[in-house]
Amino acid sequence: MTVREPVVVRAPAKINVHLGVGPLRGDGFHALHTVYLAVSLYDTVTVRPGEGLSLTVSGEGAGATTGPGQVPAGPTNLAWRAAELLADHAGVRPDAAMDVAKRIPVAAGLAGGSADAAATLVALDALWGTRAARADLLGLAAQLGSDVPFALTGGAALGTGRGEQVSPVLAGGRSHWVLGIAGEGLSTPAVYAELDRLRATGRVPDVTEPTPAEPVLAALRGGAAGELARSLINDLQPAALSLRPDLRRALRAAGDAGAAAAVVSGSGPTVAALASDEQAAVRLAAELAGVGVFRAVRAVTGPVPGARVVC
């Protein structure tokens, strides 16, 4: 039985507090050891009964028509693909009017598209009454993208494989971050390709396996901002800096403004700056908003839950 009222689901952005990138695998992906943290910046997906599928997009990236910041409102959108995949899995007609309200910047290393896909799976499972098991939803999410399973689970988690194998981990407290969002996005495949090039030319060390995540896992369990600051690692950061040298200035600005540590989030170009506490985050956000290196600044906390029905 389907639900007749609109279903509204929100899903969070993620930052990678650890991103160890191994060598390129035979399937075209890299082996990863990553530690995800879901943070309080959300996209919202609303679904209603419809004839066939339709999709509208508003907010961040909705007006872009070219480049990595584009958000398509059609079959290439990850939310649309999630709808088709769930309908095929459940054996139901893919009938729904979908609306994606974006606050997570596009192509920013924050997994906004993955959040939309996860929210769509949860929303349409409710709307269509498919009653999919959690394991089934996670399996569908993994087919859609490496970050989509984590967008479903949220919290803090260790991601292995290409990032789609997610295991929840303990976080001993809430951490406070300021996200400095750059003016234009970076293509994730381009950043990985640049890392491969840098490794092949010897500009960054080559590796045979991903950097282990144990130090940051211990820091998360302990809950101390100082310990977490010392353990942040992103193996993609040199590649993001190579493609966008201006990010060096952004990282310096975060340090100069009092961040306990700053790191490029995922494939970038967002800079995630860790604050020692909530008041420090407020001061840091105000300082970074005034230095002119970011188009937007957002103070967030984590961990938060993954995709959830809100009404």
Cα Rg of the chain, angstroms: 19
Task: Tell me, yes or no, if 102 is annotated catalytic.
Answer: no
**CA 117 from centre of chain:** 11
Task: Tell me, yes or no, if 147 is annotated catalytic.
Answer: yes
Q: Is 311 helix (H, G, I), strand (E, B) or coil?
A: coil
CA distance linking residue 281 with residue 288, whole number of Å: 10
Residue with tokens 């399973």: 149
Sign of the C-alpha dihedral computed for residues 239, 240, 246 and 248 taken in this order: negative
Sheet holding 175-181, edge to edge: 261-264, 271-275, 175-181, 296-302
| Contact present, 32 and 156 (Cβ < 8 Å) | no
Choosing from 14, 43, 102, 235, the catalytic residue is 14
Q: Strand 165-168 relative to strand 261-264: parallel, antiparallel, unpaired?
A: unpaired
| Contact present, 111 and 147 (Cβ < 8 Å) | yes
Choosing from 95, 125, 147, 235, the catalytic residue is 147
Q: Is 43 helix (H, G, I), strand (E, B) or coil?
A: strand
Catalytic residue ranges? 14, 147
